[in-house]
Amino acid sequence: MNTVVPALALSGVSKHYGQVAALRAVDLTLARHSVLGLVGENGAGKSTLISVINGTVLPTDGELRVNGSVVAPGAPLAAARAGIATVFQEQGLVANLRVHENMLLGRERGFARAGFLGTNATAALARDVLNELGIAIDPMAVTGDLAFGERQLVEIAKAFALGRIYPVEPIVLLDEPTSALSDKETQILFNSIRRWRDKASIVLVSHRLSDVFAVCDHVTALKDGTVNGHWAVADATPDMLHEAIVGRPRSAGYYKESEQREDLGEIVLDIRSLTVPGQLRDVSLSVQAGEIVGVAGVLGSGKTVLGNAITGAIRPAGGEISIRGKRLKPGSRSDALAADVGFVPAERNIAGVIGMHSIEWNLTLPSLRSFRFGRWPVLSAARQARVTDSWIERLRVRTPGRAVQIRNLSGGNAQKVVFAKWLARGIKVFVLDDPGRGLDVGAKEEIYVLLRDLARQGVAIVLISDNLPEIIGLSNRIITLRSGAISAEINAPAHDKPAETAVVPHMV
């Protein structure tokens, strides 16, 4: 086969949604057997581009060629036959099916034609693909029993399984696969990608520039729906990419250390001997007004469970949680809400926002009680609209207006709405689990500014994260969790931040 013909070539691709130009005359090439990084701000058009390539979105204009041949636009089956497989930004696995059933879901006929029939054959095929990718997951496991990151790996294996049906080399499109993965799972994925590079061509969307440098050969930056730069990774630097993505150079003091509050107030959140069988052991922690306490730990360390327990999303078996001296009812989300505890959970599409509702509704829902006329419980529509608009502006949510349904926002912009709904309400305690997930480098920085503002106003903040630079940069104090128990407490004053190497040994 002619090796100079690229695996994928897009020319002049545009996509308009009403007034919104999601893509404008995009040209893009993916060289055969290479990995192309696709980067850009929230709403830049990355997911739209992925959807145009896999045929689920019909472009307004433009042409797509696979191995030199034109593929019909807006035709998912034609794209699949050309070998294009996608791992979407939002997970699409069915929880009560087994792993191997999910891996061929929607492709049953193709598998049957390729000669794979019956449970044994599909399970064997699934095992084979998982093995080849180096993913240690049992194809017979029930998908819903797997951890979030493991389900993401199954999605990835599902995309690669497509290469077994159609006799073409797969072109695998990965839309932010690493944002839901721990460091360890990210390494598994990258090893899989390196192994597959001789048999496939890959597009990887990511907000982590470190992903680009770890595994990509080339990188294309999108900005406002157009291509704003293309490089061989060997010729690119993080600063160049940052500027192409955000449109301005990366600021020194990304984590706003100089604005860290050192004069803390009274204890706001007090946790005593919190226990969740098998997940948390005797965790005690207090957080003062204006303080940011970072919680670091590997997957399964209990850090997500801790966030869920503080906010009433799960009911601990023992221990107590008080807010300003008042005890919370264990496992009661409404009691935590009444005590002004805000929560940005790890799995935002489940617990964060309601997709079919508008931005305005999602943003003002937790604060409805403040939209009264005096004593009258009447909503002031005008005020609700004003508040929504001000947050859209402040967080730069890319949208034509407040009435837009959340599901029509880009992934990162939907997350900004999750933040805004708490900021609009006024809270005393803010628990955030992986707040940077899915946010572009500029939006992250905006969130960091907001967290510093909240701290200045006296909010007690618990920051759960996988991202060590973020935890170290933002926190006054860091606790590490290991097997459900606190393994260390490390001070992190603005003028004397600990090194990552001082934190990691307490996590593993």
Ligand X SMILES: Nc1ncnc2c1ncn2[C@@H]1O[C@H](COP(=O)(O)OP(=O)(O)OP(=O)(O)O)[C@@H](O)[C@H]1O
Give the residues lining the site for Mg ion (CB under 5 A): 47, 89, 410-411
Which residue, 103 or 222, is less far from ligand X as judged by CB? 222
Strand pairing partners for 85? 172
Taking the complex as a whole, the smallest distance from the CB of residue 163 to Mg ion amounts, in Å, to 24
User: How far apart are CB 503 and ligand X at their closest, in Å?
Assistant: 28
Residue written as token pair 């009264």: 372
- Give the residue, chosen from 12, 17, 247, 377, that forms a contact with ligand X under the rule CB under 6 A: 17
349 part of the interface to ligand X, by CB under 6 A: no
Pick out residues in 411-470 that bind ligand X (CB under 6 A): 411-413, 440
Structure tokens at 231: 């490089």
From the list ligand X, Mg ion, none, partner contacted by residue 358 (C-beta under 5 to 8 A by kind): none
Residue placing its CB nearer to Mg ion in the complex, 37 or 411: 411
Q: Which is nearer to ligand X, 433 or 440 (CB)?
A: 440
Q: Would the CA dihedral through 92, 98, 102, 103 be positive or negative?
A: positive
Q: Are strands 318-323 and 267-276 parallel, antiparallel or unpaired?
A: antiparallel
Q: CB count, 10 Å around CB of 69?
A: 9
Instruction: Return the structure tokens found at 408.
Output: 């029509």
Q: Which of 5, 20, 141, 385 lies at the binding interface for ligand X (CB under 6 A)?
A: 20
Q: How far is CA 183 from the centre of its chain?
A: 14
- The 10 Å Cβ neighbour count of residue 76 is 15
Task: Select from Mg ion, ligand X, none the partner in contact with residue 44, using the beta carbon and a kind-dependent cut-off of 5 to 8 Å.
Answer: ligand X
Tokens 């992250």 belong to: 444
State which residue, 47 or 480, has the beta carbon closest to Mg ion.
47
Which one, 228 or 308, has the nearer CB to Mg ion? Answer: 228
Q: Is residue 104 a contact partner of residue 136, using CB atoms and an 8 Å limit?
A: no
3, 156, 13, 1: which is closest to 71 by C-alpha? 13
Q: Work out which of 8, 39, 44, 289 binds ligand X, going by CB under 6 A.
A: 44
What minimum distance in Å lies between the beta carbon of 454 and ligand X?
23
Asked if 178 and 189 count as a contact pair (C-beta separation under 8 A), the reply is yes
Site string for ligand X, 388-417 (x = CB under 6 A): ----------xx--------xxxxxx----
Q: How many residues bind ligand X (CB under 6 A)?
A: 21
Nearest CA among 499, 160, 452, 434 for reference residue 303? 434
Residues at the contact surface with ligand X, assessed by CB under 6 A: 17, 20, 22, 40, 42-48, 89, 398-399, 408-413, 440
